């Protein structure tokens, strides 16, 4: 057993294994296939046995998970994971449909950005009280 003054810190590869294990554990517990999950940064710290979760370490974990067929990315205050194979069913967008706008941008016309933004239907932003 490790001494309390010398706590264990998992490597990125070890952390990836723990993350995959908890996903598999949940899958078996619920008797259903899991292809996507999310968890908080606090949970990520606990799973990785880290007091602090640095962006560079999270990036290393992302690389390790990719080796096992999972894609992880930050999503607000959480991390999201999806089986990479599930991404093949997602719609793939190209850039040809906005060729005219891209040409304007290449020519330095940044006003086109305002025109683009005016046309985008965005959901309303939640107002957060600063009290």
What's the pLDDT score for residue 129? 57
Domain positions in the chain: 12-85
Residue where the block lists tokens 């390790």 = 64
H or E, element range at 36: strand 36-40
**pLDDT per position in the chain (131 positions), as tens?**
555 566 788 999 999 999 999 999 999 999 999 999 999 999 999 999 999 989 999 999 999 999 999 999 999 999 999 999 998 888 989 999 999 999 999 999 999 999 999 999 888 877 665 55
pLDDT computed for residue 6 by the predictor = 62
pTM higher than 0.85: no
Residue 8: predicted pLDDT: 86
Report the alpha-carbon distance of residue 58 to residue 78 in Å, rounded.
12
Number of helices followed by number of strands (H, E) in the chain: 5, 3
Query: How far is residue 47's CA from residue 50's CA, in Å, rounded to a whole number?
Result: 8
* Tens-place pLDDT, residues 1-17: 555 566 788 999 999 99
* Residue spans of beta strands (DSSP E) within 41-92: 70-75, 78-83
The architecture of the domain spanning 12-85 is 2-Layer Sandwich (3.30)
pLDDT at 101: 95
């Amino acid at each position: 057993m490790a001494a309390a003054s010398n706590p264990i810190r998992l490597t990125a590869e070890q952390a990836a294994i723990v993350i995959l294990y908890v996903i598999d554990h949940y899958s078996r517990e619920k008797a259903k296939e899991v292809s996507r999950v999310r968890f908080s940064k606090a949970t990520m710290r606990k799973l990785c046995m880290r007091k602090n979760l640095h962006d560079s370490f999270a990036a290393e974990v992302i690389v390790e998970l990719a080796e096992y067929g999972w894609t992880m990315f930050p999503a607000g205050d959480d991390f999201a994971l999806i089986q990479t194979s599930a991404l093949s069913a997602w719609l793939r967008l190209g850039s040809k449909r906005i060729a005219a706008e891209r040409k304007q941008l290449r020519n330095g016309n940044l006003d086109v950005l305002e025109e683009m933004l005016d046309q985008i239907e965005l959901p309303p932003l939640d107002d957060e009280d600063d009290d």
